[in-house]
């Protein structure tokens, strides 16, 4: 079978023998094949910031789950714990992707917050904790949307992973918004 050409004249299907030959070459590159169109080094660098962001979120949510007090804090603590678990899952996914791209995930706590898009925060009370988490989620949502556009078709594996994480981050932001409304007693979203 020969390469089939699209209307533009560029091939879009490769014959099986060519695929087999390419697969045998450069085995040390793992899943990064000749068809990868992104900049691997830049992708790893970007994903290191995503990893740091997720780790900071795990730490912040965990601290808030432990430190939250007040008459209505039990449900909020449970929400913080759930989000911490989900952020830890995101961190693991991102670390695995860095590994797949041939990098070494940076879990070093030194400089962690400076590598992250979000901040740890200094909340003293329940409402401030909810606000810190809502701000962090909004930062993550915007950051991941930008990254999804950046990776586009050049790195669909990374893009898909970030799209899946984005859905959860949007859910987290909505959860924090709902908690904030419940604890402040006033609607925040405009109709």
Q: What is the pLDDT of residues 153-174, one digit of tens each?
A: 999 999 999 999 999 999 999 9
Tell me the HSE value of 189 on the side-chain side, using a 13 A CA sphere.
Answer: 11
Q: What is the pTM of this model?
A: 0.83
* SS3 label, residue 151: helix
The alpha-carbon radius of gyration of the chain (Å, integer) is 21
* 84 Cβ contact partners less than 8 Å away, ≥ 6 residues apart: 57, 58, 61, 62, 65
Q: Tell me: the pLDDT tens digits for 51-84? A: 999 999 999 999 999 999 888 889 999 999 999 9
Using DSSP's 3-state secondary structure scheme, residue 73 falls into helix
Distance (Å, whole) CA 97 – CA 157: 8
Structural domains of the chain, with CATH: 39-184 (1.20.1260.10)
Report the candidate in 94, 83, 85, 82 with the shortest Cα–Cα distance to residue 53.
94
């Amino acid at each position: 079978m020969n390469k089939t050409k699209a209307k533009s004249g560029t091939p879009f299907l490769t014959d099986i023998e060519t695929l087999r030959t390419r697969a045998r070459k450069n085995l040390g590159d793992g899943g990064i094949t000749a068809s990868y169109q992104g900049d691997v080094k830049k992708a790893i660098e970007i994903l290191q910031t995503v990893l740091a962001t997720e780790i900071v979120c795990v730490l912040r949510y965990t601290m808030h789950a432990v430190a939250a007090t007040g008459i209505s804090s039990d449900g909020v603590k449970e929400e913080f714990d759930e989000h911490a678990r989900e952020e830890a899952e995101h961190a693991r996914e991102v670390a695995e992707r860095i590994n797949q791209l041939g990098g070494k995930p940076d879990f070093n706590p030194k400089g962690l917050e400076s590598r992250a898009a979000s901040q740890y925060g200094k909340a003293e009370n329940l409402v401030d904790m909810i606000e810190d988490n809502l701000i962090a989620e909004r930062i993550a949502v915007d950051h991941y949307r930008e990254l999804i556009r950046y990776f586009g078709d050049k790195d669909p594996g990374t893009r898909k992973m970030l799209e899946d994480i984005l859905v959860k981050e949007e859910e987290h932001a909505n959860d924090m918004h709902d908690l904030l409304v419940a604890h402040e007693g006033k609607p925040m979203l405009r109709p």
